[in-house]
Structure 1
């Protein structure tokens, strides 16, 4: 492979904002998938992830469509996603990252991925990274004349009113906000020079366990639960991103709740290695980080304390994106923390998003 921009690449990023920024901007729906930069040089195709790890082996079904849709030599930035019943499904996407080749092949057939392109870094022998986004978008739209499912062009608008309509409407398709791109900016690797406007909500959750921070100093994340209508405590996500001082404080605050006998915990079965085999439960090694080693265990707590957290959105009874602790809620009983708090928007078919703009 010999391209003007070579893998691996750390993609351009966005910083959160609370309102649409001023200035000449392009607005796009924010996808909930895996960031993917596609490098194509003739018959060679490389799928690069945000963390510079190759995605090729996990999404073998993408090779043929990308070869069919993209120019002979190009580098295109976008997102891999999986849609189930017309809606983005991050759980189904996450299952695609699996060490067993047989399972990867099976899931490639059962839950095939799609790719939505939203930037272009190179075309032919020319690098476009120094070009303003407005120019890169024009090149991408020209390339997109050859796109057909499962390869798509991300919709875009320069009208903030239309963008806010998308912000409200497209959440129902599994999208979690807007990406805002200054029209005059070049492509800057691993820099947060774009913007993202995301939905923010709060919920009161039961703290059912915690993990030690990777530094070994204090609480890295609180493991959260909510009660289902049947009275079962469901694992709904974690709250993290604490300062070093707060991590140490939290360790003291949860210490009285640590369970010496795990058998009475609602999630005691999750401590079993065989039950954790698919990597979907607290304590299971993350499929991306497991190879690095380290302690991925969790410490069960008596589910007696309630914490209020902020979150961007939730699907299938689980938080998506960043979930942050706001405060302890000593006035709330754990049993009153139900999944009914997680408001889900009216469903919107993904084809309506892809056909916008």
Structure 2
């Protein structure tokens, strides 16, 4: 591969802000998938993740799509997503990371992914990394004007009002916010020079276990549960991002609730899981790092915690939740799915077809 920019390359990043910024900005929907920089030099294609891990082998259908739909020699920043019906399926996308070649082939046929392009870093022999974003966007639209599914160019607009509409409506299609990009910025790898506005809600969850931190005998994350309509405690995700001082304090706070006999725990059946499963229950092997220790310490399901979260993916919290407060005033049994806010449905196909960029009309 001989391009003006060759892998490895870390993507440009965004920092979280509480409100939609104003100014000389381009707004784009924030896609919920795997960040990916595509390198194409003729028949050579490499899909590189945010952490510079190769994604190429996991998405053979996208490799073929890149050869068919992207310019002969280019570097394109974007997102790998998995459409399912009228919304994105992040759970299904995670299933695509599998060690077995036969499984990869099967899933590429059963649950094919799409690539959403949002930045052009090189074209032919020309590097565009020092070119302002506004011009890179124009070149991207031009270069991919004839691209067909499963390759798309993300919608973009300089309208603040339209960005607010996207933020309100697109969550119903599985997207998780809006990215605001200064039009004059050059491409700065691994630097947070963009802005992201994401949904944040709170809910009360049962703390049913914890994992040790990789650095030593302090708490790494809390395992969260909600009671479903059948009265069973469903594992919904984890809360993390504590300071090291707080991690040590949590060891003592949780000590009175630790269970020696796992048979008394509602998640006992998952304790000895050795494969990455759809449910991703406590103890399941990570699809990204199969050797990572995900063992957990069971707790009596009596503690209630308020956490902040961005949204739901099926019956689980999407991404990592953030600890807010203990809730001694709440009973564990009151922590059910009924407390969760459900976004209004929005058809993903309207976004992909470019029908969501016009001013608001009665839908």
Aligned position for 1:304: 302
Aligned position for 2:360: none
User: What's the CA shift for 1:342?
Assistant: 2.1
- Find the residue that maps to 1:146 and give its secondary structure: coil
User: What's the CA shift for 1:274?
Assistant: 4.6
Is 1:264 matched up with 2:245? Answer: no
Aligned position for 2:143: 143
Map residues 1-357 of structure 1 onto 2, 5 A cutoff.
1-274=1-274, 280-291=280-291, 293=292, 295-354=293-352, 355=354, 356-357=356-357
- Find the residue that maps to 1:107 and give its secondary structure: helix
Q: Aligned equivalents of 2:221 and 2:209: distance in 1?
A: 9
Render the CA deviation track for 1:51-80: whole Å, top value 9, x for unaligned.
Answer: 111101111111121111111100000000
Q: Retained in 1: the 8 A contact 2:94–2:287?
A: no
Q: Aligned equivalents of 2:181 and 2:165: distance in 1?
A: 17
CA separation of 1:290 and 1:5: change in aligned 2, threshold 3 A: same
CA separation of 1:276 and 1:44: change in aligned 2, threshold 3 A: closer
User: What's the CA shift for 1:84?
Assistant: 1.1
Q: Retained in 2: the 8 A contact 1:279–1:287?
A: no
Render the CA deviation track for 1:9-37: whole Å, top value 9, x for unaligned.
Answer: 11011000011223200000100000011
Render the CA deviation track for 1:251-293: whole Å, top value 9, x for unaligned.
Answer: 11111111100011111011123576668222223122234x5
Render the CA deviation track for 1:92-113: whole Å, top value 9, x for unaligned.
Answer: 0000000111111111111100
Aligned position for 2:361: none
- Point out the more displaced range, 60-69 or 46-55: 60-69
User: What's the CA shift for 1:218?
Assistant: 1.1
Q: Aligned equivalents of 2:56 and 2:148: distance in 1?
A: 20
Q: Aligned equivalents of 2:276 and 2:32: distance in 1?
A: 25
Q: Retained in 2: the 8 A contact 1:279–1:285?
A: no
Structure 1: which 5+ residue stretches go unaligned?
Answer: none
Q: Retained in 1: the 8 A contact 2:262–2:298?
A: yes
Q: Retained in 1: the 8 A contact 2:275–2:285?
A: no
CA separation of 1:281 and 1:322: change in aligned 2, threshold 3 A: closer
Structure 2: which 5+ residue stretches go unaligned?
Answer: 358-363
- Find the residue that maps to 2:216 and give its secondary structure: coil
CA separation of 1:52 and 1:105: change in aligned 2, threshold 3 A: same
Render the CA deviation track for 1:176-221: whole Å, top value 9, x for unaligned.
Answer: 1001100010111011110100111000000010001111141110
What is the count of residue pairs matched by the alignment? 355
Q: Retained in 2: the 8 A contact 1:265–1:302?
A: yes
Q: Aligned equivalents of 2:277 and 2:232: distance in 1?
A: 22
Q: Aligned equivalents of 1:236 and 1:200: distance in 2?
A: 16
Q: Aligned equivalents of 1:125 and 1:180: distance in 2?
A: 29
User: What's the CA shift for 1:322?
Assistant: 3.4
When the two chains are superposed, the root-mean-square deviation of aligned CA atoms in Å is 1.3
Q: Retained in 2: the 8 A contact 1:76–1:122?
A: yes
Q: Retained in 2: the 8 A contact 1:37–1:78?
A: yes
